[in-house]
Structure 1
């Protein structure tokens, strides 16, 4: 694909009011990025779409009110896979003139050239065109699903990051905000939904209905939405807004949780942001199927979400599903402000959308559902970011985006999880009230507009009355993870005095010269309620902490850095590990594991902590331990004797925990216990723990005889254990169940389970099945990726051997991400060359970021296996019975 270079210059914008033709618009905008000529700016789109779901095509008409801001003889906008049949331009009150149309498919643009040079002023560009309805989630696309009455088809749109151009010729960039008036000519029996409410329905002569939606607020093209199908909608009024959940017919019974939680979230957000939600309605639209790229999309007033991420089926949904559904809704609703009301000027600052929405989702879970104890999520969030951020292939939070493919690749753990972690750290630094006041001022000042990161820092700094921008720049404009080394504390007059020095945590560049950050640090001694704070600048700081107990640095785990304790400081914490706050237990486990893998600390530190973790520790601490054991199990790969020795040790540690909490929930047990139970069952099944395998099989057989015999909380882990260990007969039976299933969400889950089998021959059958029509077009890529989790070499080779077919089952802008993702869990040296060869043959230089990351992760895994596994073997020889 041709790389498109982006120019950056001043974009002059016209005044918001209507201008007479030839009146020069008033420039009001600062520097912005665009891939389009700067001679025209859209103000309003009047769109009529006529989809033919059966044929997979649509006809469109759009009249674009625009301002010419510099003399030109052509107008160029974005268009992809559109064919134009008419193009005219008229000045206000003037005669329309025809345009000559030319399309650049590689650049995804259409240009309209005129016989007479256009003077600055206001015009209307009228276009008639046709387009294609896709089968993957890009542009206007279709989803087929099974029902008791046969197969049905629904239509939806997915425009982020750059696919509105597949349905509407437009200035398809976030800075070019405009209003939209959408109409659709649709079958009379179908229901249509968009960002705004329906204001009028008109019966057409051909029997279809023209559905007219109210005009939208000023917004970016990627936020427009249209859906059409055999839908049902349930509603609830909250805060003066009509909340709705739209599902396929028969699905609204699974929507009550999301609808009720949306009402509570909306109230919180209206208060927190200081600007009330401005649209008259807010729908959550649930769709069957899935995408390998995303689970939900924040279209303003019409959030799109795949069913598995939002609806709760009482027969199959777990506590984890409830939490994930809440997180999804809270995340996308936060975008209604951060992203929709105020939008980043260009994809460089995508984190302003995604980092804030991620932070708000976790904030809402903690605030509205304290019983879930999700405050401890802070550790897993920064762990995900640091896993990526400590590699040579990382990038800054604010990164340069030059192409559509690079914009797609920007939706990663740096943008989401590091962005969230930096926000949490800065809020902790300035205080919750000052941070909220800064966010409110930012919303008020920039609503319906576009921003860059420094606009936010200016608002926060003014509200806090203390310097923020310097720290923020250190963590967002440069990549990497700070490493804070903690010296041996010295107790003097009831205070612990400790020297902190700042380095850099790197997984694959042990000798690199560390970058420098201003690092906000919070420390606390065990047994003391008082905390000490400082900012490590110029590489070091001396901190006095009240009390003389074991010293916890990054107390509360809100800081984005790894903590490396001196042997003396670590030993003091290790001895009293059980007395630490659960969040700090998680932090110490996490740092010890990460630093051990990187060779910056003995791997024995992690294993000693694991051995000393109380059996009755917080369920989330035990879940972290379970996760680490699963990672070690995977590192051993096919080395059966060594892996078996470790698995035996893991079983000895975890089986007593499962025996204590039991397979069946006690009345009133903490919800975190339910999640831990599922983790333990799946882990012990992976370790081939005979009693767990036997009990899972027994309950699976009972489920076959009587569907309600296994509680929903156990159904997923039981199926996961059985599917992972399936034989030929079991796999065939599971496939038969998947083919017969009529509930889309359950059907999709069963096909994913078919791809989780570890037997090589059955994995090959799952891959072959993935490329048929049986699982559904949107499940193909997900099944291949599921196989890649346990057989990356097999999945990668299969996908490349069938690359033409695979490309038809992958969102076009995500192809540069999908194939490398299949290789990331490999530890085979041969995979390095395979990924590099794939990238060289299929990707432009600017779209190879994910391929380079995959190579770095493979090399890191090879190094860890060579250097760390012998250390684990040695520890087991000394400690395991």
Structure 2
């Protein structure tokens, strides 16, 4: 609504000056942009051709070719999901006015205007720009007005215009051609809904001091900037942005860059504030952010030129919940500047904790947004796990300020490079901030987590072809475990065989070369190759040839070491050996595998497995010598051995388990259980790896064991196997329970070590889950004491999740209702999250059904928490069928209100179906798929296929292993 917007004389003059300066640079920018697009069309040195099997084969197939050229597709440009290569944005001027009170129709809205300055790269009579769910003010009957930057140049008139809803475009057909090399302005005025859908420009609500408050915030990744203003909404379409926010007086406004000025004005008789921000650096639309709120902040001491602030609800800030985030932010920023050998690119770093936020956090450049649980730490009410989450999420998001924001992927098919990199180096940044935590070892959990997905026939490569990733739902689906955890695992492996200093040197070269531009992943390989060409580094092939085998084909190998013959071989590992792999591989599912290993405790020289099978006489063991491959779990592969070496390793676990490095003890457990599921080794061999656990006190091996035994609980907790399984785990856990009871003086103290605190939680959790009487009585006593005096909670934050869940499971309606009241009144986000999860632990079906109804009522459960609440119910053996029926009955509503743009939506299908292991459940799942094809599955489409595949594998595994497991457990549980 243009008539309400005030433009000062000084600002107008500044705008004219900027326009004049821009004329000097725009043509040069257009040439650079056109060259960059041409250069990025094919990665340097090529990529492996489909079907190639020779290690030295080079490629004639470009994995980056776009769908518009790779396949005929729709004939009209506006029917394609990718923008034409005819126009490129240079600068946006955006003014937005969010209304924080509903209008007469009860709707929250925002109004705005935008001018985008763009350069024409090729003559065209068509303007296509993204716009979604925006209502436009018409200029002479059309949604936009076109101008030339140079008034001397004639401008074609808009002949026709329309909104293409399916592809989310505003389309303008001109009566003449825009000329290549010229710069134009496109003006729009629009209105949108400030909805509570957690997408684009949206609203969040919270209650403080009994008053409900509303704020406006944003989430643009991956395709939601188009919901806030018309834009060229692709990551390669970088531009600069000048933002103005109009907002109620008494509120503050934030955007990516520093505030330039703020003044009180009137629009349409309404007194408001008008805040103008400095122009941003050149950046992608998905990194743009705006916030209007009544939040408070704390600020760093600014020993550097970078302004660091933490923003949150006023009560959270005054209670000190932002202090830890502020302290570690400054430490991590300092570490990354040295690690990248590149200064922080901006002048400020604002981090904001939002009451309603769908993702865990979002790396908006200079204005990072978080869930409250990912940024706020209460020193009284939060646990060690909460503290670590704050640390690692901050480290992840700050890593993006360089890798992802300064240098950005060209298209979403390479999302893994952004997210995998941040998921790896977050451990380095976190370790620098908390060096006593030994947190770098925790990356083994990333590897273990992604193995489960990447061992499916329905997995996918890290980098997909562009034509596989076009629709918004296909883009959202890329935000998965493969992109994050496999990306982290293979980059860590690369760093290990290059060495960390060389890896960091290559990163610095890459970041400096491509600052403020876009790349494809092979550009990183090129820069790592440059710094690797030294006599000190010996690689069997180029960095690109090695890494393309991990990036361009899905899955990973199981490496089998035969200590009798010295033979070392590799094979594509599948959880279900009967699964049919339909996706082809350019390398015939063969990898270049770097293998670090030790022999009877002595570290050996690394060797490379370059073919399906190789011989290395050094691995032959004689007598009682044992061999352990993949030390430190530095490689992304599983390891199997001949039976004799397995027996030697099992004997070592029982006699001197600490002779095996901590992370490798975890690896042995994880590999054995998964090799058994894949029928590579006997199931009883896997179970035998756990019989030493009564002597184990380290957290990481216990975490690995419990993660794998959880699969047995899921498969057997509805069968006669469950009793012996409970008995066996209770027997193994009891010494750990007694150990922590002793060193904590009967639970009165907290263990000093970071990992010890986690293992104390494991001890208590497994003791309660397996029915240990002492644990049950402890949980009920603590919870009863809290119920008697709600103002004084006697339970240590580390133990709250276990105690809450156990007490609610052992208790009845009174315990549930008390926990619900505490949840409603919680002012610390981490406490709220613990209670919300624990409420799903009740064994009363009617309470669970009521809770499922609450999960889709935003007045009771926030939209951001709906999916995880349903999954929490499904984790409960009583709740699983209730959650499954609930989701089937309400699929259309859930999908349309919670699933269209959610990164976490695939977790709903995965979480509900994790117990499925019968033919009946398989048929139900297949019927669910057929019955909802018209509704759709969005970003959960792949998760549904994987759930079907996992269910089939579970059925086969149970049929073959059930009696064997029962017999073994019955003997061991005595």
The reply on whether 1:601 has 2:684 as its aligned counterpart is no
Partner of 1:677: 760
Partner of 2:776: 693
Partner of 2:477: 409
Structure-2 separation of matches of 1:344 and 1:426: 19
Q: Which moved more, 1:406-415 or 1:431-440?
A: 431-440
3-state SS, counterpart of residue 722 of structure 2: helix
1:192 Cα deviation (Å)? Answer: 1.3
Structure-1 separation of matches of 2:257 and 2:94: 14
3-state SS, counterpart of residue 234 of structure 1: strand
The reply on whether 1:104 has 2:164 as its aligned counterpart is yes
Check the 8 A contact 2:561/2:640 in 1, yes or no.
yes
Q: Please show how residues 553-564 of structure 1 align to structure 2 within 5 Å.
A: 553-564=629-640
Question: Once the two structures are superposed, what CA deviation does each residue of 1:631-656 show, in whole Å capped at 9, x if it has no partner?
Answer: 322221322x3201210111111022
Check the 8 A contact 1:528/1:547 in 2, yes or no.
no
2:915 alignment partner, one of 826, 839, 857: 826
* CA 1:382–1:165: 2 relative to 1, 3 Å: same
The reply on whether 1:349 has 2:438 as its aligned counterpart is no
The reply on whether 1:550 has 2:626 as its aligned counterpart is yes
The reply on whether 1:387 has 2:434 as its aligned counterpart is no
Structure-2 separation of matches of 1:778 and 1:61: 29
* CA 1:54–1:509: 2 relative to 1, 3 Å: farther
The reply on whether 1:47 has 2:90 as its aligned counterpart is no
Partner of 1:364: 429
1:83 alignment partner, one of 135, 149, 152: 135
Gaps of 5+ in 1: 1-13, 491-497
Structure-2 separation of matches of 1:144 and 1:354: 29
Partner of 2:955: 862
Partner of 2:282: 218
Check the 8 A contact 2:731/2:973 in 1, yes or no.
no
1:151 Cα deviation (Å)? Answer: 1.7
* CA 1:446–1:733: 2 relative to 1, 3 Å: same
* CA 1:609–1:370: 2 relative to 1, 3 Å: farther
3-state SS, counterpart of residue 42 of structure 1: strand
The reply on whether 1:152 has 2:213 as its aligned counterpart is yes
Structure-1 separation of matches of 2:607 and 2:887: 51
1:744 Cα deviation (Å)? Answer: 5.0
Q: Please show how residues 410-425 of structure 1 align to structure 2 within 5 Å.
A: 410-425=478-493
The reply on whether 1:37 has 2:123 as its aligned counterpart is no
* CA 1:870–1:91: 2 relative to 1, 3 Å: same
Q: Which moved more, 1:173-182 or 1:147-156?
A: 147-156
* CA 1:675–1:88: 2 relative to 1, 3 Å: same
Check the 8 A contact 1:792/1:825 in 2, yes or no.
no
Question: Once the two structures are superposed, what CA deviation does each residue of 1:7-35 show, in whole Å capped at 9, x if it has no partner?
Answer: xxxxxxx9991349999996443245570
* CA 1:189–1:789: 2 relative to 1, 3 Å: same
The reply on whether 1:761 has 2:827 as its aligned counterpart is no
The reply on whether 1:269 has 2:336 as its aligned counterpart is yes
Q: TM-score, structure 2 length as denominator?
A: 0.84
1:384 Cα deviation (Å)? Answer: 1.0
2:120 alignment partner, one of 58, 64, 68: 68
Structure-2 separation of matches of 1:452 and 1:765: 49
1:857 Cα deviation (Å)? Answer: 1.9
* CA 1:507–1:15: 2 relative to 1, 3 Å: farther
Q: Which moved more, 1:525-534 or 1:320-329?
A: 525-534
3-state SS, counterpart of residue 813 of structure 1: coil
Check the 8 A contact 2:461/2:551 in 1, yes or no.
yes
Structure-2 separation of matches of 1:21 and 1:483: 49
Structure-2 separation of matches of 1:745 and 1:522: 40
Structure-2 separation of matches of 1:57 and 1:448: 33
3-state SS, counterpart of residue 841 of structure 1: coil
Q: Please show how residues 654-733 of structure 1 align to structure 2 within 5 Å.
A: 654-662=733-741, 664=747, 666=749, 669-704=752-787, 705=789, 706-733=791-818
Q: Please show how residues 500-515 of structure 1 align to structure 2 within 5 Å.
A: 500-510=568-578, 515=589
* CA 1:112–1:635: 2 relative to 1, 3 Å: same
1:763 Cα deviation (Å)? Answer: 1.3
1:591 alignment partner, one of 646, 659, 671: 671
The reply on whether 1:286 has 2:348 as its aligned counterpart is no
3-state SS, counterpart of residue 861 of structure 2: coil
Question: Once the two structures are superposed, what CA deviation does each residue of 1:42-101 show, in whole Å capped at 9, x if it has no partner?
Answer: 000100000112232110100101011222222111111011114211112428776443
Check the 8 A contact 1:314/1:712 in 2, yes or no.
no
* CA 1:146–1:804: 2 relative to 1, 3 Å: farther
The reply on whether 1:636 has 2:716 as its aligned counterpart is yes
3-state SS, counterpart of residue 872 of structure 1: helix
Check the 8 A contact 2:400/2:418 in 1, yes or no.
yes
3-state SS, counterpart of residue 645 of structure 1: helix
Structure with the larger strand share: 1
1:600 Cα deviation (Å)? Answer: 1.0
Partner of 2:651: 575
2:906 alignment partner, one of 809, 813, 817: 817
Check the 8 A contact 1:820/1:835 in 2, yes or no.
no
1:59 alignment partner, one of 88, 102, 111: 111
Structure-1 separation of matches of 2:580 and 2:907: 30
1:672 Cα deviation (Å)? Answer: 0.9
Q: Which moved more, 1:369-378 or 1:346-355?
A: 369-378
1:255 Cα deviation (Å)? Answer: 0.9
> Could you say what the CA RMSD is over the residues aligned between the two structures, in angstroms?
2.5
Partner of 1:9: none
1:666 Cα deviation (Å)? Answer: 4.3
Check the 8 A contact 2:381/2:828 in 1, yes or no.
no
Partner of 2:549: 474
Structure-2 separation of matches of 1:642 and 1:366: 42
* CA 1:24–1:317: 2 relative to 1, 3 Å: closer
Q: Which moved more, 1:178-187 or 1:723-732?
A: 723-732
Equivalent pairs, count: 858
3-state SS, counterpart of residue 340 of structure 1: coil
Partner of 2:53: none
1:18 alignment partner, one of 22, 26, 30: 26
1:265 Cα deviation (Å)? Answer: 0.6
Question: Once the two structures are superposed, what CA deviation does each residue of 1:242-276 show, in whole Å capped at 9, x if it has no partner?
Answer: 11111111212101111111111111100111211
1:239 Cα deviation (Å)? Answer: 3.9
1:547 Cα deviation (Å)? Answer: 8.7
The reply on whether 1:299 has 2:364 as its aligned counterpart is yes
Check the 8 A contact 1:486/1:563 in 2, yes or no.
yes
1:668 Cα deviation (Å)? Answer: 6.0
Q: TM-score, structure 1 length as denominator?
A: 0.93
Structure-1 separation of matches of 2:634 and 2:933: 40
3-state SS, counterpart of residue 339 of structure 2: helix
2:730 alignment partner, one of 640, 644, 651: 651
Structure-1 separation of matches of 2:579 and 2:232: 46
Check the 8 A contact 1:138/1:811 in 2, yes or no.
no
Partner of 1:185: 246
Check the 8 A contact 2:800/2:834 in 1, yes or no.
no
1:175 Cα deviation (Å)? Answer: 0.5
Structure-2 separation of matches of 1:177 and 1:402: 19
* CA 1:724–1:481: 2 relative to 1, 3 Å: farther
2:599 alignment partner, one of 485, 500, 525: 525
Check the 8 A contact 2:283/2:405 in 1, yes or no.
yes
Partner of 2:9: none
2:499 alignment partner, one of 431, 437, 440: 431
Q: Which moved more, 1:691-700 or 1:527-536?
A: 527-536
1:777 Cα deviation (Å)? Answer: 3.4
